Chains A and B, each alone.
Chain A
Amino acid sequence: MSTLTEKGIKIDLQTSQDDKEALSQIKEKSVIYDTKNLDLWYGNSHALKNINLEILENEVTAIIGPSGCGKSTYIKTLNRMVELVPGVSTSGSISYKNKNILDKSIKVEDLRTQVGMVFQKPNPFPKSIYENIVYGPRIHGIKKKAILDEIVEKSLRGAAIWDEVKDRLHQNAYGLSGGQQQRICIARCLAVEPDVILMDEPTSALDPISTLKIEELMKELKKQYTIIIVTHNMQQAARISDKTVFMLNGEVVEFSETDQLFSNPSDKRTEDYITGRFG
Chain B
Amino acid sequence: MAKSQAVMRQPNKINARVRINTFWKSIFFLSTLFGLFVLAILIYRVVADGMAWLDLSFLTSRLSTDPNTAGISGAILGTLWVMLVVIPVTLIVGVGTAIYLEMYAKKGFMKSIIETNIANLAGVPSIVYGLLGLTVFVRLMAFGNVVLAGGLTLSLLVLPILVVSAQEALRAVPGYLEEASYGMGATKWQTIRRIILPAAIPSILTGAILAMSRAIGETAPLTVLGIPALLIPLPGGLFDTFTALPMQIYYWTLDSSLVAEYANLAAATIIVLLVILFILNSIAIFIRNKYQQSY
Contacts and interface: CB of A to CB of B under 8 A. Distances in A.
Contact of B185 (A125, A127, A139, A185): A139
Interface stretch (B25-33, B116-124, B132-140, B172-180): B172-180
B180 A125 contact: yes
Contact of B179 (A84, A108, A140): A84
Interface residues of B, number: 20
Nearest to A121: B176
B9 interface: no
B249 to A, nearest CB: 43
8 interchain residue pairs of minimum CB distance: A113-B185, A112-B185, A117-B183, A123-B176, A136-B184, A109-B185, A139-B186, A123-B180
B181 interface: yes
Nearest to A138: B194
Given A121-B176, A123-B180, A110 B185 contact: yes
A86 B190 contact: no
A127 B293 CA distance: 9
Contacts of A136: 184-186
10 contacts: A81-B183, A84-B178, A110-B185, A111-B185, A112-B185, A123-B176, A124-B180, A126-B199, A135-B184, A139-B185
A185 B184 CA distance: 11
A179 interface: no
Interface string A157-198: 000000000000000000000000000010011001000000
Contact of B181 (A110, A126, A135): A135
B210 interface: no
Nearest to A109: B185
A79 interface: yes
Nearest to B183: A117
B184 A192 contact: yes
A40 B262 CA distance: 74
A119 interface: yes
Contacts of B106: 86
A189 B178 CA distance: 14
A207 B181 CA distance: 26
Contacts of A185: 180
Interface in A76-121: 79, 81, 84, 86, 108-113, 116-117, 119, 121
A158 B199 CA distance: 29
A119 B180 contact: yes
Nearest to B180: A123
Contacts of B184: 112-113, 116, 135-136, 139, 188-189, 192
A109 B187 CA distance: 6
Interface in A239-257: none
A136 B199 CA distance: 18
Contacts of A110: 185
Interface of B: 106-107, 174, 176-187, 190, 194-195, 199, 295
B176 A192 contact: no
Contact of B177 (A81, A123, A138): A123
Nearest to B191: A139
B191 to A, nearest CB: 9
Contacts of A84: 178-179, 182
Nearest to B178: A84
B199 A81 contact: no
Given A81-B179, A109-B186, A125-B180, 11 more contacts: A86-B106, A112-B184, A113-B185, A117-B183, A119-B179, A119-B180, A126-B177, A127-B295, A136-B184, A136-B185, A139-B190
A141 B207 CA distance: 33
- The CB with the most chain B CB atoms within 10 A, among A117, A119, A139, A192, is that of A139
B183 A86 contact: no
A125 B179 CA distance: 11
B188 to A, nearest CB: 9
A140 B185 contact: yes
A176 B8 CA distance: 46
B194 A139 contact: yes
A185 B176 CA distance: 12
A146 to B, nearest CB: 21
B183 A112 contact: yes
A108 to B, nearest CB: 8
A112 B187 CA distance: 10
A138 B199 CA distance: 18
Nearest to A192: B184
A131 to B, nearest CB: 9
A111 B183 CA distance: 9
A86 B185 contact: no
Contacts of A126: 177, 199, 295
